[in-house]
Amino acid sequence: MNRNFILYLTLMVSFIGALGFSFYFYMKANYYDYQISEATSTYSSLPNYHFVLISEEVDHEYWRLVEEGAKEAEAVYDVYVEYKGPRNSNPEEQVRLLDMAIAAKVDGIIVQALNDEMFTPLINKAVENGIPVITIDTDVPNSSRMTYIGTDNYQSGQIAGQALIEDTNGEAVVGIIANSFSSIHQQLRIQGFKDAVENIEGIQIVAIEESNNSRVRAAEKADKILGEHEEITAFFGTSALDGLGISTSMKALQRQDDIYILAFDSLKETLDLLEQGKVDAVVAQEPFQMGYQSVERMLAIITGQQVQNVYHTNTSIIRKSDLRDWQTKVGVNP
Interface positions with ligand BGC (CB under 6 A): 56, 60, 62, 112, 137-138, 179, 185, 213, 239-241, 264-265, 285
Residue 46 three-state SS:
coil
Instruction: Give the C-alpha separation, 150 to 297, whole Å.
Output: 12
Nearer to ligand BGC, 35 or 179 (CB): 179
CB of 253 to ligand BGC, least distance (A): 23
Q: Which is nearer to ligand BGC, 79 or 263 (CB)?
A: 263
In sequence order, what are the beta bridge partners of 205? Answer: 174
Closest separation in Å from C-beta 86 to ligand BGC = 11
Q: How far is the CB of 71 from ligand BGC (least distance, A)?
A: 18
| Helix 323-330 and helix 268-275, axial crossing angle in degrees, nearest 10 | 150
Quick one: 179 or 248, whose CB is closer to ligand BGC? 179
Cα–Cα distance, 314 to 285 (Å, whole number): 6
Which residues, including other chains, have CB under 8 Å from residue 138's CB and lie 6 or more apart? 112, 113, 114, 150, 153, 183, 184, 185
Is the distance from CB of 278 to CB of 251 less than 8 angstroms? yes
Q: What is the dihedral of CA 324, 193, 293, 268, to 10 degrees?
A: -40
- CA-wise closest residue to 135 among 302, 281, 309: 309
Q: Closest distance between ligand BGC and the C-beta of residue 166, in Å?
A: 21
163, 221, 170: which is closest to 193 by C-alpha? Answer: 163
- Closest distance between ligand BGC and the C-beta of residue 60, in Å? 6
In the bound state with ligand BGC, the residue whose beta carbon lies nearer, of 50 and 84, is 84
For the bound state, the minimum distance from the C-beta of residue 305 to ligand BGC, rounded and expressed in Å, comes to 27
Least separation in angstroms between residue 188's CB and ligand BGC is: 11
Closer of 112 and 143 to ligand BGC (Cβ): 112
Contacts of 178 (CB under 8 A, 6+ apart): 186, 189, 190, 208, 209, 210, 211, 237, 238, 239, 242
Of the two residues 108 and 243, which places its CB atom closer to ligand BGC in the complex? 243
Between β-strands 281-284 and 316-319, what pairing exists: parallel, antiparallel or unpaired?
Answer: antiparallel
**Cβ closer to ligand BGC: 213 or 299?**
213
